Amino acid sequence: MIKICGTGSALPAHTVTNDDLSKIMDTSDEWISSRTGIRARHLAVEETTTGMSVKAAEQALEEAGVKAEELDLIIAATLSPDHILPTLACEVQAAIGATHAVAFDLHAACSGFLFSMNTAAAYMQSGVYKNALIIGAETLSKMMDWNDRGTCVLFGDGAGAAVLRELPDDGTNGGLKAFVQYSDGARGGVLACGNRPVCHPFASHEPENQYVTMDGQAVYKFAVSTVPKVVTEAVEKAGLTLADIDHFVLHQANQRIIESVAKRLKQPMEKFPMNLQDCGNISAASVPILLDSLNKNDMIKANERIVLAGFGAGLTWGAAVIQW
Ligand code: COA
């Protein structure tokens, strides 16, 4: 069985409330919180994507009782690494001393942690690797246009990690039970961010917008229509019903999206934990940070069933069912 054996997380020390934002741009706590549920976010000042990832990774390894040298795989999901090269996963590998691991980044935006976990699980199911470190980490604050109040108020910074192990079956039928994942590049323009243009002695292109742009209403409609379907599909694939699920740990983009998903799935809001009030949307980091806070606060009991679901730019979306 493939099991999450440890979790960890790290958030920047500096908290910025909606009222703080309203002092520097034309917005208000009422506008942001009524449309999104977000009241504050942590923004990196001294922290880095790699530094937060290392902290989260060390916590996850400690809880799992796994030494860094025992890792054979590190996958880091991020859209905001500190450097283009080397990759975040390789920087973490060096910092923790995971000398026997292969390390690489996986970029699937807000579905990144989920897709990384599924990728690690596929390696494990085929017998290639046994001990994996999965990271979701972002400093999204540097990807935002701070003159665009429609996007910059939604996002935050932070990192989460989990240690995934292939263990002998202990008779509980636990661990990862099923996953499904999708993408639709044809709709990718609704949530985008440009890169550096081609510029060399033989060609020079106009620079693209290097900050995140978003059609908020299109993204909202995408999320509320696809997430209930993908969650239902994953649960059915696991041979379970929605009533069997104890916690739905969804990507923390927007409280209204989560409420709409709960309503469409006919499940009570108590099953949908949230940290977006204090953290905003941290893309690939939001699911592992929330999972770690549930784990650390003893809010998940042994054998409880959890759905993890991600959705975002690409477009990408997916869900996994795990038994704790
Ligand atoms: N403060 C105050 N006013 C703001 C604002 C802000 N931070 N941001 C936008 N506005 C204004 C707009 O300029 C617009 O004004 P206008 O009517 O005078 O042009 C008005 O508020 C309505 O903007 P609109 O974009 O239509 O609002 P909305 O009701 O669609 O809500 C979102 C915007 C972003 C909250 C909503 O679309 C949403 O949550 N979408 C999903 C986004 C998401 O989760 N993305 C990440 C997925 S991974």
CA 214 to ligand 1 centroid distance, Å: 10
Residue 119 has pLDDT above 90, yes or no: yes
Residue 9, pLDDT > 90, answer yes
Report how far residue 110's alpha carbon sits from residue 252's, in angstroms, rounded to the nearest whole number.
9
d(CA 231, CA 311): 11
Neighbours of 103 (CB within 10 A): 21
- Alpha-carbon radius of gyration of the chain: 19
Q: How far is CA 295 from CA 9, 11, 277, in A?
A: 11, 16, 19
Confidence band for 22, pLDDT divided at 50, 70 and 90: very high
pLDDT of residue 255: 98
> What is the pLDDT at residue 38?
98
Determine the pLDDT at residue 78.
98
Using pLDDT thresholds of 50, 70 and 90, give the confidence band for residue 264: very high
The binding-site residues of ligand 1, defined as CB within 6 angstroms of any ligand atom, are 27, 31-32, 35-36, 110, 149-150, 153, 214, 216-217, 219-220, 253-254, 281, 312
Q: Once rounded to an integer, what is the mean pLDDT over residues 211-229?
A: 97
> What single letter denotes the amino acid at residue 157?
D
Which tokens go with 124? Answer: 């494990």
**pLDDT exceeds cutoff 90 at 100:** yes
CA angle 205, 213, 156 (to 5 degrees): 125
Indicate the pairing of strand 157-166 with strand 102-106. Answer: unpaired
Among 110, 136, 140, residue whose Cα is nearest residue 318: 110
Helix (H) or strand (E) holding 159: strand 157-166
The answer for residues whose C-beta is within 8 angstroms of residue 124's C-beta and 6 or more apart is 2, 130, 132, 164, 166
Query: Which atom of ligand 1 lies at the shortest distance from residue 110's CA?
Result: 48
Average pLDDT, the chain: 97
Length reported for the chain:
324
Question: Which pLDDT band holds residue 172 (cuts at 50, 70, 90)?
Answer: confident
Take residue 265 and report the two structure tokens written for it: 């799935």
Å from CA of 209 to ligand 1 middle: 19
* ω into 86 cis (within 30 of 0): yes
Report how far residue 39's alpha carbon sits from residue 36's, in angstroms, rounded to the nearest whole number: 9
Q: Report percent pLDDT > 70 for the chain.
A: 100
pLDDT of residue 137: 98
